[in-house]
Chains A and B, each alone.
Chain A
Amino acid sequence: MIALVKRAFDAWRGSGPSAVTVPPMDGALRPNQAIEEAPVLLEIAAPDNLVHDGTRLLFSSGSTVYAMKATGTESVAAFDRPVSALALHPGGAMAIGLEGRGLELRGGQHDGKVITELGGRPVLCPTALLFTDENTLLVALGSQQNAPERWKHDLMQRNASGSVWQVDLTNGKATCFADRLAYPYGLLAAGDGGVVVSESWRNQLIRIHPNRKPKVELSDISGYPARLAPTADGAGSWLAVFAPRSQLLEFVLHEPDYCDQMIQEIDPQFWIAPSLSATQSFLEPMQLGGLKQLGILKPWAPTRSYGLVVNLDGAFEPQVSFHSRADGRRHGITSCVEVSGRLLATSKGGNAIVSIPLAAGV
């Protein structure tokens, strides 16, 4: 009863869980223009999910999987619908998540295997894949209601129907590691047999283990986390953050009436919602601080899109970060990998793969 009253009071006053405060980009997250100023490795439409197994470097763009080689890029596989997740195993296997369809395996022992259901649920929204060994695949399903292209709907509907599965590829047995997650979007193997998952809509990283309770490793991220990748030395990790949080957005998420009507009436491109790409149309919403003064958009202006990659140490504390700010174009970083002293990151909203030189010790 008291909790109910308190919740009603908080909702009326905008305090407690109804507060719209957003953690500032401070400390290790202090803004720079490293992503914006980094050399562009490749310009390609909506690159996503870079993966690296030590020798091969693959990424997806639309419904095609490309391999990046010294001589250029070449198409490795093409599908009839968009690729939404990739994973590689050094043994030669490749797992592909297909939007609204399921999972496919190419190469390795399980070549040609197709998975369309996990534990009786259709694989609608595969967002991240990870081989823990040649026969075991971890799968993150972002949502039960929406395919990956409808991620904005999933956020604005305030869903939490994502799940993480372990699939034994030899017998097809699927085990649910965690359920009712708010859009799990990245997977990272943890040493103890568990897995660290980035939970986008809750802005946090959680550690999931088959025999233990989930544990929050990093909370209150200033944006919506996407894929995770280990650092080259294996001690830490890289976290791609695909969009920023903002007070206005948090506020809108607390206004179900407005939110629902917006979903009904307005084209998602023009929503008050995070975006992968910088403003492209005059019909997109503008915030007061985003008014161009003397012809210049300030880099600290409120924005719905941003480019951010964060380096985390072994305890998932942010150490270093790379940014593309409100006035930049390389937004919507969905994945990154560290390859021979450089960090490659896919700017899905900026249609480019950038290559950020890493200083020694990072």
Chain B
Amino acid sequence: MSASEVYARWRHRLIPDHILGEILSKTWIDNAIPFAFLIIAIAFFAFINPHFFLLSGLGDMARELGEIIFVTLGMVIVMLAGGIDLSVGSTFALSNFITLALFNWQGWPIGLAVLCALLAGAAVGLLNGILVGYLRLRAFLTTLVTLIIIRAIDDTLVIQYSTKVVVPITQSKVWDFISDGDIYGIPIPFIVAIVIAAVGHVLLTRLRPGWHILAVGGSRRSAHNAGIPVRRTVAMTYVMSGILAAAGGVFYASRLGTAGGDTGVGLEVTALTAAVLGGNSLGGGRGSVVKALLGALTVTIINNGLISLGLKSGAGSLALGVVLLIAVAIDVRWLKNRHKVLSKVYVSPAYFKLPPCPSITEGSGSSYALNDKLHDVELIGLGEIDAAEDPILDINDDLFFGSRKGDIIRYFGPDHKRWEVYVHVGGMPLGMAFDRDGNLLCCVAGMGLYKVVKDTRKIVKLTDETNRTWLSIVDDSRMRLPDDLDIAPDGRIFFSEATIRFDSYEWMVDGLEARGNGRIICYDPRDKSTKTVLPKIKFPNGICVAHDGKSIFYASTWGCTIERFWLEGQKKGTTETIIADLPGYPDNINRSSDGNYWVALVGLRTPAFDLALRKPGFRRRMVQRVAQDEWLFPQMNAGTVIKFTESGQVIDCLWDKRGVNHPMLTSCNEHKGYLYLGGIVNNRVGKYKVPGADPNFTNQGSYWGAKP
């Protein structure tokens, strides 16, 4: 073994690359960048100014943070629906003035004063909403104009009455508590902001109006086509934004109690920076309350940090502007490239060295030597069949198998000329078996383990979930690719799930990884429990309970092995490898009438692919650079059927030398002296007369003693 190969082997054993792709495929990864920004901001200011994060300073900062959270939440809600609200700063200032004017100057009860301030904010929002939502003016220009108009009104009022509003003529304990009080050291504005944020989170993620907002922002036309009142939804977001900005103004009034010309100036930029920095998309449809909070916190820290550094006032705005620019750039680039990055890093091949491949050369004396026994098979349903992964027969000689369209097809025996759709399952049916009562059990790709009741044809879901693996990043509790099943004498159903990392249409990508991504699961009908029996197997595929019912055989497709798992006896719970060096990739296993087992090899090992398995970097770069249709793959245009004994000795081998009738074999099922051959990408089922086979053998007879 060369040095580079030793390196590759250890490198891929020690560093689990696949985790990176799994993390990137999580939706919460969108929060990673804003969170990183936050950490960087905290680290930066803590480093520059060690006193910055002392508790005494935090209280004031939290008070101000509460106000910014309000305004940012409003901005985010508008942005989620695909708009923008620049008027928040003016609304904020107007609300500040109204609160002070009504409470300090006019002496109104504080509750009423606050209500009027919020209503004023709602009115501004409604104006924006009507203009943008119903009249469909440009959000940017419209809210810019409202920004100027409201600012002008506010300035006029402030110039005339600013001295009058600052001196309170009444007192309110509530108002004092809001302005100075705290609960366990946490200022009231911050607490209220967090409560409102929680409400907003529930609204956006759990309630219909929130979903409408996200839908409108995601795609206006689709939302319209889906019957969502787009205009009203857009208008509502501006009203919400107006109210939230006004709420921020109220707390500002409580904190400072003054109305000046510079109140809320530039707040729209602060809020926008916070929103975008938190990872809320400017294009709408993508964002969350948590992101808004992250962004608001970061911006507040930056703002206060710059002030604490004693920078001139212009420098703070400059820094904020630069941060906004960076955040927007990242937003655009990340959105555009996230899927590209994910598709590049998700497939992560592992090092795998197969044992030397036994010869298949004709006349080589090998157990696998090429012959042409499958040359003259009888073809059933030629051209009518699509994706017969695992054809099986019942005791009345009817032939059942799945189809790509999500049906289970029945060909009527004994001649198999007429057919019907037995049931429509929905997903693609793969492995099948009959239980003791003659019900049809079936693994359905993407769905789970299902049962079709014998006479009523009722479809019953047996299980689609198993226990989640501790610390797994991919949620492996749901089944992605149940493949084949078999039933133990006690009724327990053992079935294989080929891979937990890929969906059924990507099963071949799993082959390029060559990692143990699959598992064997047991469903116990007695207590309806499901649990994983054997994890981390390289594409477990066919499963067959031994003739004596004490062990199960299973095929590891990419591992090119047949394994035996003991259910009873001394070796209970252990696994032993029965055949370690198949020349191809084993698929479904079934019993034969002479006490042995049939297994179909779906494809053959090729020297070029075997070499590639030892070069994970080669395969990873191939996946990244070469188009999928061009990927190197095992030879799947040739298959064979072999018969093996319980001890793993290969005693027969059936080939279709020209690769014409059965370019790919996924299953072989013996029934009354014939072997029925299926292939998942083939358009036929083959029927091969097995020389010397028991003409009365049926699988149901072998398992359950059933007689026609």
Q: Does B228 have its Cβ within 8 Å of any Cβ on chain A?
A: no
Q: Is the CB of A291 within 8 A of B632?
A: no
List residues of chain B with CB within 8 A of the CB of A270.
606-608
Cβ contact of A247, chosen from B2, B508, B630, B634, cutoff 8 A = B630
Query: In the complex, what distance in Å separates the CA atom of A291 from the CA atom of B624?
Result: 21
Shortest Cβ distance from B601 into chain A, in angstroms? 11
B612 nearest CB neighbor, chain A only: A258
What B residues does A44 contact at CB under 8 A? none
Chain A contributes a number of interface residues (CB within 8 A of B) equal to 35
Q: Residues 57-71 of chain A: 1 if any B CB is under 8 Å from the residue's CB, otherwise 0?
A: 000000000000000
User: Would you give the shortest CB distance from B398 to chain A, in whole angstroms?
Assistant: 24
B650 interface contact, C-beta 8 A: no
Q: Kindly identify which residue among A255, A266, A288, A292 contacts B663, using a CB–CB cutoff of 8 Å.
A: A292
Structural contact, B608 and A266, CB atoms closer than 8 A: yes
Rounded to whole Å, the gap between the CB of B138 and the closest CB of chain A is 40
Complex partner residue of B626 from A251, A261, A292, A297, CB under 8 angstroms: A251
| Nearest CB of chain B from residue A304's CB, rounded to whole Å | 11
| Cβ-defined partner of B681 (8 Å) among A251, A285, A289, A292 | A292
List the count of A-B residue pairs having beta carbons below 8 Å apart.
Answer: 114
A268 to chain B, nearest CB (A): 11
Interface size classification for chain B: 35 or more
Given contacts A270-B606, A292-B637, contact A287 B630 (CB under 8 A): yes
| Shortest distance from the beta carbon of A13 to any chain B beta carbon, whole Å | 9
Given the contacts A292-B681, A294-B682, A251 and B622 also touching, CB distance less than 8 Å: yes
- Given A14-B624, A251-B622, A287 contacting B608 (CB threshold 8 A): no
The answer, yes or no, to whether A286 is at the interface (CB within 8 Å) is: yes
Contact A283 B622 (CB under 8 A): no
Residues of B within 8 A of A284 (CB): 606, 608, 635
Given known pairs A14-B625, A20-B625, the reply for A266 and B607 (CB within 8 Å) is yes
Chain A interface, >50% SS class: loop
B632 with A290: CB separation less than 8 A: no
Determine whether A26 belongs to the interface, using a CB cutoff of 8 Å to chain B: no
Q: Is B629 an interface residue (CB 8 A)?
A: yes
Asked if residues B683 and A294 are in contact (CB atoms below 8 Å), the reply is yes
Instruction: Tell me if A266 and B615 are in contact (CB < 8 A).
Output: no
A360 to B145: give the CA distance in the assembly, Å: 73
A287 lies within 8 A of B386 (CB) = no
Q: With a CB–CB cut-off of 8 A, which chain B residues contact A80?
A: none
Q: Is B627 an interface residue (CB 8 A)?
A: yes
B629 adjacent to A288 (CB under 8 Å): yes
Q: Which of B2, B609, B636, B637 counts the most chain A CB atoms within 10 A? A: B637
From 377 to 397 in chain B, residues with beta carbon under 8 angstroms from any chain A beta carbon are 383, 386
Q: Return B80 CB to nearest CB of chain A, in Å.
A: 36
Q: Does B631 contact A (CB under 8 A)?
A: yes
Q: Which chain B positions have C-beta within 8 A of A267? A: 607
In the complex, chain A residues 83-104 whose Cβ is within 8 Å of any chain B Cβ: none
**Is B32 an interface residue when CB atoms closer than 8 A count as contact?**
no
Q: Which of B4, B606, B684 has the most CB of A within 10 A?
A: B606
Interchain CB contact under 8 A, B606 and A289: no
**Please, which residues of chain B bring their CB within 8 A of the CB of A262?**
608, 611
Q: In the complex, what distance in Å separates the CA atom of A290 from the CA atom of B637?
A: 8
A192 CB–B CB distance under 8 Å:
no
| Also in contact, A292 and B664, with CB within 8 A (given A248-B622, A285-B632, A286-B635) | yes
Q: In the bound complex, how far is the Cα of B626 from the Cα of A49, in angstroms? A: 34
Residues in chain B near residue A290, CB distance under 8 A: 637
At the interface, yes or no: A308 with Cβ under 8 Å from chain B? no
Please name 26 pairs of A and B residues whose Cβ atoms are closer than 8 Å in the assembled complex, sorted by A: A14-B621, A20-B626, A247-B630, A251-B626, A255-B621, A257-B4, A257-B615, A261-B611, A266-B608, A267-B607, A270-B607, A282-B606, A282-B637, A282-B659, A284-B635, A286-B633, A286-B636, A286-B637, A288-B508, A288-B628, A288-B629, A289-B630, A291-B664, A294-B386, A294-B682, A302-B629
